[in-house]
Chain A
């Protein structure tokens, strides 16, 4: 399984933890995208500041660097750049496909749902009256329906990735520092990409790039350089303390009577915890989770090969397909729940079915790739960058 890789030995073998957590993140994103869902209570956003998006973007950065970094070293900037852009194109096509499904759902609701109580809310469907504008804005990634913000973020991050990766391979720390500067400037100067009909992107790419670049930096040897930091007991203690603190704060969101225990100075300093610009508190929460995870799950942990975790790992290995499927299933599930005014039982069933479909599809994709003779086992050094070490 181990291959002769120009990268450091420790990064040459596929880290199944990445696939595992990306798979889990995909499940959580699916669950979170069904607004009326009792199963949502199990997703991590209810227990801390960060959520599955952070995990997804970090791991995406990590695998992008892992895969395209190798190509860039072996074949140069031009070819690796072309592959990254091809990947961005695939994601763009996937996004537009999801947009079409979303339009179909909306058009259906617009044609069937009519309730005078919601005359104002139904105005959201007015954009159907101007398809000439709306569809163009969607193609430009400016018009993004609710919950369809992650892929456009990913596209922009990949479009900018070739030069970033080039820099990361030569001066990794400088590249990371540059990324942090862009993040800080985005906060200071408040810049973001424009959205349609107005406003800005829900995930500010100039802020969220920090997590992506940090993931890439970790993949290219940064994780080893930080090994002392990860293993320090003090760091672990701080991380656990912070996770407990974040958990306590989130409890006050769910039980408003607890809100009075949050001192005003703390609330004024802390709120609002900005998701659009990747609040420092969210970033720190993700780091704390990562520290605890890395400590408690070594990369050679035997459980990673157990059949229990295989479904999540499989999903993580086909992230783009499973992500898109998850968004689609979330639409469909929500639609079913709404059409039948479903209760907790239906919500649980829909959630479980959705995850089962995601697993089945991931297995089908793995099977297909194996049959095609392109599986990592048969041709590890395959020129297809999408496969080595999981998809970027």
Chain B
């Protein structure tokens, strides 16, 4: 009993002091290899080799942030930046997030040129699909928009990682995302672009009991953990696909 109380107190204290709360150990939300895309991020490797600098732009809809004034601070783009900075010491890492609430892919593509010109990123992480599913955009139009966006990014020579929607079991019966997920998979394959399958990864976490994604909770702790894990998974994807061995970059200095 005393043990239970101790555990509960720890949990309570932990969630009260949310920013300082201990992160789940990396193994807990590790992503198995088969859920990680293959792919080459040539431009990322080049940028680090030539300039010891990596500028990443994240373009996404609401699920690329967390609600509330602190939302951006705990969302995956920021977590990705932290994780990369920890692992790639001596490299200047900058992650810029352009979160556009309620914007469909077509809307995003319209503003993409300006973002690319302003940020001049080596890598674009493009999260799409949820807003399109919400608005019931025709999958065919969704596909065309993705094609245009990827072409626009390719024109600037930047690498791309596409990211699909979240796995959200409680809204699954209301929000049909599978058609959009299929389109993204197909587009990624056609363009030879890496697809970070957030849907499958979160589904895996749910199956394994890492996160209970069914719970009704107003608490931010779990949401932050999920974003932290996504940020870390993205970081390891970038490190692997860009052939940025964390140790090596240090020694080549």
Interface residues, chain A, CB within 8 Å of chain B?
35-36, 105-106, 109, 112-125, 145-147, 195, 197-200, 256-257, 259, 267-268, 271-272, 276, 331, 334, 338-339, 341
Tell me which residues across on chain A come within 8 A of B59, comparing CB atoms: none
Interface pair B67/A199, CB less than 8 Å apart: no
Interface pair B170/A123, CB less than 8 Å apart: no
Please name the residue on chain B nearest to A113 by beta carbon: B216
Interface of B is mostly: loop
CA distance A117 to B135 in the complex (A): 19
CA distance A121 to B175 in the complex (A): 8
Q: Choose among A112, A120, A147, A195 the residue with the greatest number of B CB atoms under 10 Å from its CB.
A: A120
Checking A116, A120, A197, A338 against B130 with a beta-carbon cut-off of 8 angstroms, the contacting residue is A120
Does B223 sit at the interface, judged by CB under 8 A? yes
Interface pair B68/A334, CB less than 8 Å apart: no
Does B174 sit at the interface, judged by CB under 8 A? yes
Shortest distance in angstroms between A348's beta carbon and chain B's nearest beta carbon? 16
Does B34 sit at the interface, judged by CB under 8 A? yes
Tell me which residues across on chain B come within 8 A of A116, comparing CB atoms: 66-68, 218-220, 223
Interface pair A147/B182, CB less than 8 Å apart: no
Tell me which residues across on chain B come within 8 A of A118, comparing CB atoms: 63, 166, 168, 170-171
Interface pair A35/B173, CB less than 8 Å apart: yes
Interface pair A109/B136, CB less than 8 Å apart: no
Shortest distance in angstroms between B87's beta carbon and chain A's nearest beta carbon? 25
Interface pair B171/A121, CB less than 8 Å apart: yes
Tell me which residues across on chain B come within 8 A of A123, comparing CB atoms: 62, 102, 134
CA distance A257 to B170 in the complex (A): 30
Known: A119-B62, A121-B168, A334-B173. A114 touches B222 (CB 8 A): no
Q: 26 A-B pairs, CB-CB below 8 angstroms?
A: A35-B169, A112-B216, A113-B170, A114-B217, A114-B218, A115-B170, A115-B215, A115-B217, A116-B219, A117-B66, A117-B213, A117-B227, A120-B63, A120-B166, A121-B63, A121-B175, A122-B171, A124-B175, A125-B174, A197-B136, A198-B137, A257-B34, A271-B186, A272-B186, A334-B173, A338-B169
Please name the residue on chain A nearest to B63 by beta carbon: A120
Q: Choose among B102, B214, B217 the residue with the greatest number of A CB atoms under 10 Å from its CB.
A: B214
Shortest distance in angstroms between A200's beta carbon and chain B's nearest beta carbon? 6
Tell me which residues across on chain B come within 8 A of A331, comparing CB atoms: 173
Known: A117-B223, A118-B171, A119-B62. A195 touches B216 (CB 8 A): no
Q: Which of B89-107 contact A (CB under 8 A)?
A: 101-102
